[in-house]
Amino acid sequence: MNPHYKKLGFKTPKNYFQKSKDQILATNINYRTGKIEYQSTFQLLIAAVFITSILYLNFSSLNTESKSFSSKSPIISSILLNEEITEEYIIDYLTDKIAENDIYIPK
């Protein structure tokens, strides 16, 4: 390099080149090696969270189905409303169910 560039008046802080060199090496060599490990750990963690959340959602929906009940059911509503179960009530309930689900019930 032509030494005349020094006459341009550009200066650098004291020990700049050594510090800058160290910074470049630290950034690229040490940090990047560590980053690869960090990324793979991070990716594993994300994968684990993803799988766990899928499993949780599946099981929770299964549980909801098994625990759910129809409050229109004559037995349930009789408990809730303290009403007697009558034949009419059951017939009404079944009629509603047929209309809702289009299920054929043999007579």
CB of 53 to another protein, least distance (A): 34
When asked if residue 35 is in the footprint of another protein (CB under 8 A), the reply is no
Cα-only R_g, the chain:
37
Residue 36 binds another protein (CB under 8 A): no
The region of 27-35, 46-54, 61-69, 90-98 touching another protein under the rule CB under 8 A is 27-35
User: Can you tell me which residue has the tokens 């309930």?
Assistant: 93
Task: Give the separation between CA 25 and CA 18, rounded to whole angstroms.
Answer: 11
d(CA 94, CA 87): 11
Residues at the site binding another protein, with contacts judged by CB under 8 A = 1-2, 4-13, 16-17, 20-21, 23-25, 27-29, 32
